[in-house]
Structure 1
Amino acid sequence: MESMQTSVFRALRHMADRAKLAKAREEENSYKHRAQEVHQRINFLENSRPDIVSAIDRLKQRRAELAKEMELVTKAIAAEEKRLQDLPSVIAELKQERHNLAREAIKIHRHMPEVPGSADDDQRIVDSADQIRQRALAAIDALLG
Protein backbone atom coordinates (compact mmCIF):
# COMPACT_ATOMS: atom_id res chain seq x y z
CA MET A 1 0.00 0.00 0.00
CA GLU A 2 2.75 2.35 0.79
CA SER A 3 4.23 1.91 -2.60
CA MET A 4 0.89 2.80 -4.15
CA GLN A 5 0.74 5.85 -2.00
CA THR A 6 4.31 6.79 -3.01
CA SER A 7 3.38 6.28 -6.66
CA VAL A 8 0.32 8.52 -6.27
CA PHE A 9 2.37 11.21 -4.51
CA ARG A 10 5.05 10.92 -7.17
CA ALA A 11 2.38 11.12 -9.91
CA LEU A 12 0.78 14.15 -8.21
CA ARG A 13 4.20 15.81 -7.87
CA HIS A 14 4.95 15.08 -11.53
CA MET A 15 1.59 16.59 -12.52
CA ALA A 16 2.33 19.66 -10.43
CA ASP A 17 5.84 19.88 -11.92
CA ARG A 18 4.42 19.56 -15.46
CA ALA A 19 1.91 22.30 -14.70
CA LYS A 20 4.75 24.51 -13.41
CA LEU A 21 6.81 23.60 -16.47
CA ALA A 22 3.93 24.43 -18.82
CA LYS A 23 3.43 27.73 -17.04
CA ALA A 24 7.19 28.42 -17.18
CA ARG A 25 7.23 27.64 -20.96
CA GLU A 26 4.24 29.93 -21.47
CA GLU A 27 6.01 32.66 -19.54
CA GLU A 28 9.24 31.99 -21.48
CA ASN A 29 7.35 32.27 -24.79
CA SER A 30 5.73 35.47 -23.62
CA TYR A 31 9.15 36.95 -22.81
CA LYS A 32 10.57 35.75 -26.14
CA HIS A 33 7.63 37.29 -28.01
CA ARG A 34 8.01 40.59 -26.13
CA ALA A 35 11.78 40.48 -26.75
CA GLN A 36 11.10 40.06 -30.49
CA GLU A 37 8.70 43.01 -30.43
CA VAL A 38 11.31 45.15 -28.67
CA HIS A 39 13.94 43.96 -31.16
CA GLN A 40 11.70 45.03 -34.04
CA ARG A 41 11.14 48.43 -32.46
CA ILE A 42 14.92 48.80 -32.00
CA ASN A 43 15.50 47.96 -35.68
CA PHE A 44 12.76 50.35 -36.75
CA LEU A 45 14.22 53.15 -34.63
CA GLU A 46 17.78 52.46 -35.77
CA ASN A 47 16.61 52.54 -39.39
CA SER A 48 14.71 55.78 -38.82
CA ARG A 49 17.89 57.73 -38.03
CA PRO A 50 18.47 58.90 -41.68
CA ASP A 51 14.85 60.05 -41.93
CA ILE A 52 15.17 62.02 -38.70
CA VAL A 53 18.49 63.57 -39.82
CA SER A 54 16.89 64.48 -43.15
CA ALA A 55 13.91 66.06 -41.39
CA ILE A 56 16.26 68.06 -39.15
CA ASP A 57 18.20 69.27 -42.21
CA ARG A 58 14.96 70.33 -43.98
CA LEU A 59 13.77 72.14 -40.87
CA LYS A 60 17.09 73.93 -40.43
CA GLN A 61 16.97 75.02 -44.08
CA ARG A 62 13.40 76.26 -43.60
CA ARG A 63 14.49 78.10 -40.44
CA ALA A 64 17.27 79.83 -42.43
CA GLU A 65 14.77 80.82 -45.15
CA LEU A 66 12.38 82.17 -42.54
CA ALA A 67 15.23 84.08 -40.87
CA LYS A 68 16.05 85.75 -44.21
CA GLU A 69 12.39 86.56 -44.76
CA MET A 70 12.13 87.91 -41.22
CA GLU A 71 15.15 90.13 -41.87
CA LEU A 72 13.52 91.49 -45.04
CA VAL A 73 10.25 92.15 -43.20
CA THR A 74 12.12 93.88 -40.37
CA LYS A 75 13.92 96.12 -42.89
CA ALA A 76 10.64 96.88 -44.65
CA ILE A 77 9.02 97.83 -41.33
CA ALA A 78 11.96 100.11 -40.51
CA ALA A 79 11.70 101.78 -43.95
CA GLU A 80 7.96 102.38 -43.54
CA GLU A 81 8.47 103.72 -40.00
CA LYS A 82 11.11 106.12 -41.41
CA ARG A 83 8.68 107.25 -44.14
CA LEU A 84 6.03 107.84 -41.47
CA GLN A 85 8.50 109.77 -39.32
CA ASP A 86 9.61 111.92 -42.32
CA LEU A 87 6.04 112.57 -43.48
CA PRO A 88 5.43 115.84 -41.56
CA SER A 89 8.66 117.46 -42.81
CA VAL A 90 8.06 116.31 -46.41
CA ILE A 91 4.53 117.71 -46.29
CA ALA A 92 5.83 120.97 -44.80
CA GLU A 93 8.43 121.30 -47.60
CA LEU A 94 5.79 120.65 -50.27
CA LYS A 95 3.43 123.23 -48.69
CA GLN A 96 6.26 125.78 -48.76
CA GLU A 97 6.99 124.93 -52.42
CA ARG A 98 3.27 125.26 -53.26
CA HIS A 99 3.21 128.67 -51.53
CA ASN A 100 6.29 129.86 -53.44
CA LEU A 101 4.89 128.65 -56.78
CA ALA A 102 1.55 130.37 -56.13
CA ARG A 103 3.36 133.61 -55.17
CA GLU A 104 5.38 133.50 -58.43
CA ALA A 105 2.20 132.85 -60.46
CA ILE A 106 0.50 135.86 -58.82
CA LYS A 107 3.58 138.05 -59.47
CA ILE A 108 3.60 137.08 -63.17
CA HIS A 109 -0.16 137.60 -63.43
CA ARG A 110 0.12 141.13 -61.97
CA HIS A 111 2.75 142.11 -64.54
CA MET A 112 0.89 140.79 -67.58
CA PRO A 113 -0.33 143.59 -69.84
CA GLU A 114 -3.87 143.70 -71.15
CA VAL A 115 -4.08 142.99 -74.88
CA PRO A 116 -6.96 144.74 -76.62
CA GLY A 117 -9.24 142.85 -79.00
CA SER A 118 -9.52 139.15 -79.49
CA ALA A 119 -7.20 136.49 -80.87
CA ASP A 120 -9.74 135.75 -83.64
CA ASP A 121 -9.78 139.41 -84.76
CA ASP A 122 -5.97 139.48 -84.82
CA GLN A 123 -5.86 136.26 -86.84
CA ARG A 124 -8.31 137.68 -89.41
CA ILE A 125 -6.15 140.78 -89.83
CA VAL A 126 -3.00 138.65 -90.28
CA ASP A 127 -4.80 136.37 -92.78
CA SER A 128 -6.06 139.41 -94.72
CA ALA A 129 -2.54 140.92 -94.86
CA ASP A 130 -1.16 137.56 -96.00
CA GLN A 131 -3.73 137.41 -98.84
CA ILE A 132 -2.76 140.92 -99.91
CA ARG A 133 0.92 139.92 -99.89
CA GLN A 134 0.16 136.80 -101.94
CA ARG A 135 -1.75 138.85 -104.55
CA ALA A 136 1.09 141.38 -104.70
CA LEU A 137 3.64 138.63 -105.27
CA ALA A 138 1.45 137.07 -107.95
CA ALA A 139 1.13 140.49 -109.71
CA ILE A 140 4.90 141.05 -109.60
CA ASP A 141 5.50 137.51 -110.97
CA ALA A 142 3.00 138.20 -113.77
CA LEU A 143 4.69 141.50 -114.70
CA LEU A 144 8.17 140.03 -114.65
CA GLY A 145 7.05 136.86 -116.05
Structure 2
Amino acid sequence: MRIPVFRALRHMADRAKLAKAREEEDSYEHRAQEVHHQINFLESSRPDIVGAIDRLKRRRAELAKKMEQVTKEIAIEEKRLQDLPSVIAELKQERQSLAHEAIKLHRYTPEVPGSANDDQRTLDSADQVRQRTITAINALLG
Protein backbone atom coordinates (compact mmCIF):
# COMPACT_ATOMS: atom_id res chain seq x y z
CA MET A 1 0.00 0.00 0.00
CA ARG A 2 2.89 2.16 0.44
CA ILE A 3 3.84 2.35 -3.24
CA PRO A 4 0.38 3.39 -4.41
CA VAL A 5 0.40 6.16 -1.78
CA PHE A 6 3.80 7.41 -2.93
CA ARG A 7 2.70 7.13 -6.52
CA ALA A 8 -0.47 9.11 -5.72
CA LEU A 9 1.58 11.74 -3.89
CA ARG A 10 3.99 11.99 -6.82
CA HIS A 11 1.08 12.26 -9.26
CA MET A 12 -0.44 15.06 -7.17
CA ALA A 13 2.90 16.87 -7.08
CA ASP A 14 3.28 16.38 -10.85
CA ARG A 15 -0.25 17.69 -11.41
CA ALA A 16 0.55 20.76 -9.28
CA LYS A 17 3.71 21.36 -11.32
CA LEU A 18 1.73 20.85 -14.52
CA ALA A 19 -0.94 23.32 -13.37
CA LYS A 20 1.75 25.83 -12.42
CA ALA A 21 3.51 25.31 -15.79
CA ARG A 22 0.20 25.84 -17.64
CA GLU A 23 -0.41 29.04 -15.67
CA GLU A 24 3.07 30.27 -16.60
CA GLU A 25 2.45 29.23 -20.21
CA ASP A 26 -0.84 31.18 -20.23
CA SER A 27 0.92 34.14 -18.65
CA TYR A 28 3.65 34.08 -21.30
CA GLU A 29 1.08 33.75 -24.09
CA HIS A 30 -0.89 36.66 -22.66
CA ARG A 31 2.25 38.80 -22.40
CA ALA A 32 3.28 37.73 -25.91
CA GLN A 33 -0.13 38.86 -27.23
CA GLU A 34 0.25 42.21 -25.44
CA VAL A 35 3.71 42.68 -26.95
CA HIS A 36 2.32 41.66 -30.37
CA HIS A 37 -0.44 44.30 -30.08
CA GLN A 38 2.12 46.87 -29.00
CA ILE A 39 4.31 45.99 -32.01
CA ASN A 40 1.32 46.31 -34.37
CA PHE A 41 0.37 49.64 -32.82
CA LEU A 42 3.92 50.98 -33.17
CA GLU A 43 4.24 49.71 -36.74
CA SER A 44 0.93 51.32 -37.67
CA SER A 45 2.05 54.62 -36.12
CA ARG A 46 4.97 54.89 -38.56
CA PRO A 47 2.99 56.92 -41.20
CA ASP A 48 1.77 59.31 -38.49
CA ILE A 49 5.33 59.85 -37.28
CA VAL A 50 6.61 60.34 -40.84
CA GLY A 51 3.78 62.82 -41.47
CA ALA A 52 4.62 64.70 -38.29
CA ILE A 53 8.28 64.85 -39.29
CA ASP A 54 7.36 66.18 -42.75
CA ARG A 55 5.04 68.78 -41.21
CA LEU A 56 7.75 69.89 -38.79
CA LYS A 57 10.32 70.11 -41.59
CA ARG A 58 7.97 72.32 -43.63
CA ARG A 59 7.40 74.49 -40.57
CA ARG A 60 11.16 74.69 -39.99
CA ALA A 61 11.61 75.85 -43.61
CA GLU A 62 8.89 78.50 -43.18
CA LEU A 63 10.45 79.69 -39.95
CA ALA A 64 13.87 79.81 -41.62
CA LYS A 65 12.38 82.07 -44.33
CA LYS A 66 10.82 84.28 -41.67
CA MET A 67 14.10 84.36 -39.78
CA GLU A 68 15.92 85.38 -42.95
CA GLN A 69 13.40 88.19 -43.51
CA VAL A 70 13.76 89.38 -39.92
CA THR A 71 17.55 89.30 -40.28
CA LYS A 72 17.28 91.46 -43.41
CA GLU A 73 14.97 93.91 -41.62
CA ILE A 74 17.39 94.12 -38.71
CA ALA A 75 20.24 94.86 -41.13
CA ILE A 76 18.17 97.63 -42.77
CA GLU A 77 17.35 99.21 -39.41
CA GLU A 78 20.96 98.94 -38.26
CA LYS A 79 22.03 100.67 -41.49
CA ARG A 80 19.49 103.43 -40.88
CA LEU A 81 20.84 103.83 -37.35
CA GLN A 82 24.40 103.94 -38.67
CA ASP A 83 23.45 106.58 -41.29
CA LEU A 84 21.49 108.68 -38.80
CA PRO A 85 24.35 110.99 -37.70
CA SER A 86 25.32 111.87 -41.28
CA VAL A 87 21.67 112.48 -42.29
CA ILE A 88 21.20 114.71 -39.26
CA ALA A 89 24.42 116.59 -40.07
CA GLU A 90 23.25 117.16 -43.67
CA LEU A 91 19.87 118.45 -42.47
CA LYS A 92 21.53 120.78 -39.97
CA GLN A 93 23.72 122.15 -42.75
CA GLU A 94 20.66 122.65 -44.96
CA ARG A 95 18.83 124.37 -42.09
CA GLN A 96 21.77 126.72 -41.57
CA SER A 97 21.94 127.51 -45.28
CA LEU A 98 18.19 128.24 -45.39
CA ALA A 99 18.47 130.46 -42.31
CA HIS A 100 21.32 132.44 -43.93
CA GLU A 101 19.24 132.92 -47.07
CA ALA A 102 16.28 134.13 -44.97
CA ILE A 103 18.52 136.58 -43.08
CA LYS A 104 20.02 137.83 -46.35
CA LEU A 105 16.54 138.43 -47.84
CA HIS A 106 15.43 140.17 -44.65
CA ARG A 107 18.46 142.51 -44.71
CA TYR A 108 18.05 143.55 -48.33
CA THR A 109 14.27 143.86 -48.43
CA PRO A 110 13.35 147.54 -47.97
CA GLU A 111 10.69 148.54 -45.47
CA VAL A 112 7.48 149.97 -46.92
CA PRO A 113 6.43 153.16 -45.11
CA GLY A 114 2.94 153.36 -43.59
CA SER A 115 0.50 150.56 -43.12
CA ALA A 116 -1.61 148.45 -45.43
CA ASN A 117 -4.75 150.01 -43.89
CA ASP A 118 -3.57 153.53 -44.76
CA ASP A 119 -2.85 152.45 -48.34
CA GLN A 120 -6.28 150.80 -48.61
CA ARG A 121 -8.00 153.98 -47.36
CA THR A 122 -6.11 156.04 -49.98
CA LEU A 123 -7.19 153.63 -52.72
CA ASP A 124 -10.80 153.66 -51.51
CA SER A 125 -10.77 157.47 -51.48
CA ALA A 126 -9.37 157.60 -55.04
CA ASP A 127 -12.01 155.12 -56.15
CA GLN A 128 -14.75 157.27 -54.66
CA VAL A 129 -13.40 160.31 -56.52
CA ARG A 130 -13.34 158.29 -59.73
CA GLN A 131 -16.94 157.14 -59.17
CA ARG A 132 -18.14 160.73 -58.55
CA THR A 133 -16.33 161.93 -61.68
CA ILE A 134 -17.96 159.24 -63.80
CA THR A 135 -21.35 160.10 -62.30
CA ALA A 136 -20.84 163.82 -63.02
CA ILE A 137 -19.75 163.15 -66.61
CA ASN A 138 -22.76 160.91 -67.17
CA ALA A 139 -25.05 163.60 -65.73
CA LEU A 140 -23.62 166.24 -68.12
CA LEU A 141 -23.86 163.96 -71.11
CA GLY A 142 -27.26 163.10 -70.13
**Same-fold call, TM > 0.5?**
yes
Tell me the alpha carbon deviations over residues 56-98 of structure 1, each in whole angstroms, 9 at most, x when there is no partner: 1221121122111111110111011101110110011011001
Q: For the structure 1 residues 142 and 72, does the alpha-carbon distance in structure 2 shift closer, same or farther, using more than 3 Å as the test?
A: farther
The answer to whether the aligner puts 1:31 opposite 2:28 as a matched pair is yes
After TM superposition, list the pairs within 5 Å mapping 1:89-108 onto structure 2: 89-108=86-105
Of 9, 12, 15 in structure 2, the residue corresponding to residue 12 of structure 1 is 9
Percent identical among aligned pairs is 80
Of 41, 51, 71 in structure 2, the residue corresponding to residue 44 of structure 1 is 41
Q: How many residues were matched structurally?
A: 142
After TM superposition, list the pairs within 5 Å mapping 1:68-83 onto structure 2: 68-83=65-80
Tell me the alpha carbon deviations over residues 10-65 of structure 1, each in whole angstroms, 9 at most, x when there is no partner: 11111111111111101001101101111111111122122212211221121122
Computed over aligned residues only, the root mean square deviation of the Cα atoms, in angstroms, reads: 1.5
Q: For the structure 1 residues 48 and 130, does the alpha-carbon distance in structure 2 shift closer, same or farther, using more than 3 Å as the test?
A: same
Partner of 1:116: 113
Q: For the structure 1 residues 139 and 57, does the alpha-carbon distance in structure 2 shift closer, same or farther, using more than 3 Å as the test?
A: farther
- Taking the aligned partners of 2:138 and 2:9, their CA distance within structure 1 comes to 161
Amino acid at match of 2:132: R
Of 76, 81, 84 in structure 2, the residue corresponding to residue 84 of structure 1 is 81
Structure 1: tracts of 5 or more residues without a match: none
Shift of 1:141: 4.0
Partner of 1:58: 55
User: TM-score with structure 1 length normalisation?
Assistant: 0.90
